[in-house]
Amino acid sequence: MMVLTKKMIEIRSILQKVGQSSTLTLPSIVVIGSQSSGKSSVLEAIVGHEFLPKGSNMVTRRPIELTLVNTPGSREEYGEFPDLGLRRITDFSSIQRTLTELNLAVPDSECVSDDPIHLTVYSPNVPDLSLIDLPGYIQVVGQNQPLQLKQKIIELCDKYIQPPNVILAISAADVDLANSTALRASRRVDPRGERTIGVITKMDLVDPRRGAAMLNDKQYPLRLGYVGVVSKAPQSQGLFKIGTQTNLLSTIVKQENAFFSSHPLEYGPEAGLDVGTTTLRKKLMHVLEQTMSSSLQSTSDAIKQELEEATYEFKVQYNDRPLSAESYLAESLDAFKHSFKQFTEGFGRPQMHELLKGELDQKVLDLLAARYWNKPIEDLTAAKPEPDSIADLPRSDPDSLYWRRQLDASTSALTKLGVGRLATTVVASSIQAQIDRLVSQSSFSSHPFAREAIMEATSTILNERYYSTSDQVENCIKPFKFEVDIDEREWAHGREHVQGVLKKELKDCESALTGLENTVGGRRKLKEVMAFVDKARKGDIVIEGDGRSGAGGFSAALLSRGREAVFLRDRADIIKMRLMAVKSKQCANLKNKYYCPEVFLDAAASKLASTAVLFLNVELLSEFYYNFPRELDLRLGRHLSEAEVERFAKEDPKIRHHLEVIRRKELLELVLDKMESLRQLEGKERDRRGIG
Ligand code: GDP
């Protein structure tokens, strides 16, 4: 019953997924032989296809771990390179090309590499086998080959011909067996000839009597015996290449039968010798099955030990906490949605109003600076204020057309500055920043993929709403472009609020001044250069060339700092004066709006903000709050493939390790389970044979 090898090959492919377990190797058949001994021909005859790299130069530079999987009932034959993700290659010449490329990729300096190439061939015509093809031994180092090559190949082969592997030692019949490098290597590691199969190729090249004597070799007797073959592939005939289309094996077998049966005396049944590729295949299957069977126990033990280690690690490092990539993603997503929900509860109309108003406050300050504060301030207050005359500060003519026009123009500028876009931009970028903050605080922070998906979800929704929202907002504030009506209550509120704005601006000016003091090296120095700038401005001093190369003993850089400082000081003075004005009795009265543009513009800005926010809420915020969780589900929810979820989870090194430990544990448990049933099956089989 040849089921064991198949099952063990399955188990081996599971173990390969476990990774990093060099101890868990199941027995294979290792193929060694000198160059040109016919090693490739034998392997290709077994597989039934030409697929190995060919060439005058040595091309096998990496071990090829070849797994043959018998697929009864199917007609298809194909190969796969699982490590490269190359599946279902039905064209064997393409397999050959890939193998050649992989081999040639090993740099000359390395000579050979012990990193194996994994190739699996599925076919109804192959037996279940696990073979390892190694670089052929070389006798003389070729002209273009590195000197250490010969030694490196020997070392590589030595690594593989250790127990429990079976050695398939290939020797050509036309070379004296005593000179066979393969048999000599084998003898070193298997002196009693217990796990070596001798293959003598090119039997057609020697006299049958000599050939038969070789198969009976007594110099190095092998328990598993010698097999003679003639596996030379028939020559390709023009375009019709035999190897790739027809099964190579049947051609070779025919050829062998013709040859061996033409020498019945030496190779006939009476001679009791093993000849032919079919015999070789059977022997390989049988031997591998036996070897697998006898290594069941030790492999089981090794797996048990590995499993114990994984279990221990799981317990100690992860407290036996179960985790899967899906559950991790689902939990992370839930937690993120939860934090988003919390955010939505704290961010609504009042918060949007505050944001927008803050932005408009800046615009109001700019307008004031451009339209009012740059004028000799006396114009506005009619007289330079004395400290004791603060109470009656604004004194300009209430009927002055000039001041009326100034306020109307400022208000118009405020309403026409593009409030729709400004409001939408401010709120959208605030939402974006908030989401970014939520991501950084969530477990998604260490997942670039999720991070990107979330940011994309955010900007997709916001971008979709952007134009319609800003249009709507712009439309709804349209009436204010013609008239802004302020009532007493709004005036009072504006007066209160703008004081805070002015105070803050004053503070900013003052701290900028202090900052300048520090950059020029102290207050005194700054004062000096400011005094110089003041004098120059009054015309007391003439600065040549605009002070580009310095003046008055000050460098150009210092002079520009001085000008900046003078500007800040003047601005601070004006703001102080305007603060007094706003606080004064006159400004308490809406009627005096022309002397108190700060209050009026503040109140107007509040009206704009309140109206804008109503629409922002409907058009942008509510839409976002509704769509965002759905968009998240779409991008990070059930729609992701298993591989994507896996890739996502593994982006976090901690999670990756946790998942790997669990996976290793599960795979090992699975393997152990399979091994146990196999052992029981084996036991029953033995009992049956014992009884029978
Ligand atoms: P490798 O270098 O050991 O892989 O050897 P190959 O399989 O490439 O064979 C070397 C050469 O020997 C090729 O030209 C084959 O055609 C030839 N050859 C292989 N097996 C036989 C055989 O059984 N009989 C004869 N006459 N030639 C063979």
Q: What three-state secondary structure class fits 201?
A: strand
Is the distance from the beta carbon of residue 470 to the nearest atom of ligand 1 less than 6 Å? Answer: no
239 has pLDDT over 50: no
- What confidence tier does 391 reach under pLDDT thresholds 50, 70, 90? very low
* Mean predicted confidence (pLDDT) in 453-460: 94
pTM of this prediction?
A: 0.64
Could you report the per-residue pLDDT of 53-72, keeping only the tens digit for each?
987 665 688 999 999 999 99
Is the distance from the beta carbon of residue 205 to the nearest atom of ligand 1 less than 6 Å? Answer: yes
Q: Which of 51, 205, 232, 257 is the best mutation target for the ligand 1 pocket, counting ligand atoms within 8 Å of the beta carbon and taking the most?
A: 232
Is the distance from the beta carbon of residue 228 to the nearest atom of ligand 1 less than 6 Å? Answer: no
Say which residue, 100 or 690, is predicted with more confidence.
100
- What confidence tier does 488 reach under pLDDT thresholds 50, 70, 90? very high
* Mean predicted confidence (pLDDT) in 362-368: 93
Question: Which pairs from 7-15 meet CB under 8 Å and 24+ separation?
Answer: 7/674, 7/678, 8/292, 8/678, 9/67, 9/69, 9/128, 9/130, 10/674, 11/671, 11/674, 11/675, 12/67, 12/130, 13/67, 13/82, 14/667, 14/670, 14/671, 14/674, 15/303, 15/667, 15/671
Q: Which of 32, 36, 41, 175 is the best mutation target for the ligand 1 pocket, counting ligand atoms within 8 Å of the beta carbon and taking the most?
A: 41
From ligand 1's centre to the CA of 182, what distance in Å? 15
- What confidence tier does 236 reach under pLDDT thresholds 50, 70, 90? low
| Atom 21, ligand 1: residue with shortest CA distance | 232
- What confidence tier does 21 reach under pLDDT thresholds 50, 70, 90? low
DSSP code string of 86-117: EEEE--HHHHHHHHHHHHHTS-GGG-S---PE
Is the distance from the beta carbon of residue 38 to the nearest atom of ligand 1 less than 6 Å? Answer: yes
| Atom 20, ligand 1: residue with shortest CA distance | 232
Among 302-311, 619-628, 652-661, the range of highest mean pLDDT: 619-628
Q: What is the pLDDT of residue 182?
A: 97
Q: Is the ipTM value over 0.90, yes or no? A: yes
Say which residue, 47 or 298, is predicted with more confidence.
47
| Atom 12, ligand 1: residue with shortest CA distance | 38
User: What share of the chain has pLDDT > 90, as a percent?
Assistant: 59
- What confidence tier does 547 reach under pLDDT thresholds 50, 70, 90? low
10-24, 82-96, 171-185, range with the lowest pLDDT: 10-24
Could you report the per-residue pLDDT of 145-188, keeping only the tens digit for each?
777 888 999 999 999 999 999 999 999 999 999 999 999 999 99
* Mean predicted confidence (pLDDT) in 630-657: 88
* Mean predicted confidence (pLDDT) in 514-525: 90
